[in-house]
Structure 1
Amino acid sequence: MPLHAIPGYSRLNRNHKLSAAAVAAGGAAAVVFAVVPGSANAEPAHNAASAQNVKPVAYHVVDDSSAYSLVDNAAAKAQNAELTQSSTRAADQASAEAFAAKKQAEGDAKAAAEAKAKAAADAAARAKEDAKNQRTTQAASRSSERKPVTYANNLDGWIRESLSIMKKNGIPGSYEGIKRNVMRESGGNPRAINNWDVNAQMGIPSKGLLQVIQPTFEQYHVAGTANDLYDPVANIVAACNYAADKYGSMDNVDSAY
């Protein structure tokens, strides 16, 4: 039977066709061998019967399209698996980066909160220390106000005490201006008295550190000082009060006044 008469032969590929031709050739060779006389012991009848019992070779057409489909499916699965792994790795990396960013943000927020808390604590500590210092200063000031100032019982102390009283009463004058006139008028003697000038001739001699007559002392006497013309502080303050009224200040007096 011609090879092209085999059903489906035209659909076979080259390898299949070569296989089919080999099988056909083998079958033909077997038939020829069967009819060729053999050895003396050969049994022609039996060989003929055997030849008659030879069944026709069945040809099976193999369709390899399914094999190609399997290969394609395997490649597709491998590609899908690779894509899945890539996506998984990308997702894991993104998750790790998000986690790291979150931790960084939490760390920054914690550091900022700690810095803010420290600044608040430092401010509170400074405020507490300032309040303590203020209380100490106020206490010292009150103590200073309650404690009377003690002045030396000499010309320096008398002038300084007089200046303190003059400042409270708005009477101008300086330490140097007062001392200069005291030294000229009495030499610093609070009991000095002038019994020879015109005032003495009128019966009202000048007395004290700045040689003040009694009527002037009484008129310009400053409350809070002793009512005694010989008292050093009372004498200085009254004389400076008089000089401020007549000359503007004891600093402007350079001779008898």
Structure 2
Amino acid sequence: MSKNFLTRGHARALNRHHKIAVAGVAALGAAAIGLSATPSDASTTTTSEAAPAARISYGTEPIEDVRGTITDQLAASGVKTELIAAKKQAAADAAAEKKAAAAAAKEKVQREREAGEAASRSGDRHWGGERGGAGERAEKPAPKSYSDNLDGWIRESLDIMDKRGIPGSYEGIHRNIIRESSGDPKAINLWDINAQNGIPSKGLLQVIPPTFAAYHVPGTSKNIYDPVANITAACNYAADRYGSMDNVYSAY
């Protein structure tokens, strides 16, 4: 009975070891199969611990010297394009404004010119004082007329002398004309010393040709026999030599 007990105990013990051995063999077999499936040049590391998870740290400091992304570059390019377009538009607007201002100024000048011309035409149709108003001008008086006789000749000469600053009076001129030519504008002296010298005295105030040419007054005839031209030139000569025709009482 004891022998059987030991045998059974031993059998039970062997059975436990056998199971452990079988398990070990099975594990080795599985490992062998795994190794045979792995390429000869590959290495496999087996660990019983899980690989630790990678840790990500987040910093609060700004990152410098990093180039912008494509989006940032496109955005910057768009802003630059908009700035260029805005400058072009501003220049165009300024040019248009300047052109409009020049056109307005030109139009204003044209209106003022037309208004002045209209006022001038209106003023020419009216005498001074007849109509008041800015821009209107008095009509110029008609040229003064003189009678074609001794009185008219003297008066016309006096008006010319007054404009030229030549002194003389109606009485002084008339007195000398009567003494020199008796009022004949075609009178000529053929007997005095001037005639003997070949330069006879001619006209209302008996002026010799050289004196007439030297004292001729612009605006009058160059014909020595013209009554107005003759009187005016003689009075101009008398004013230069005697101060005025009024101071002449004899041959001069």
* Interval of TM-score (by shorter of Structure 1 and Structure 2): 0.3 to 0.5
TM-score, length-normalised on structure 2?
0.47
TM-score, length-normalised on structure 1?
0.46
| Between structures 1 and 2, the one with greater helix share | 1
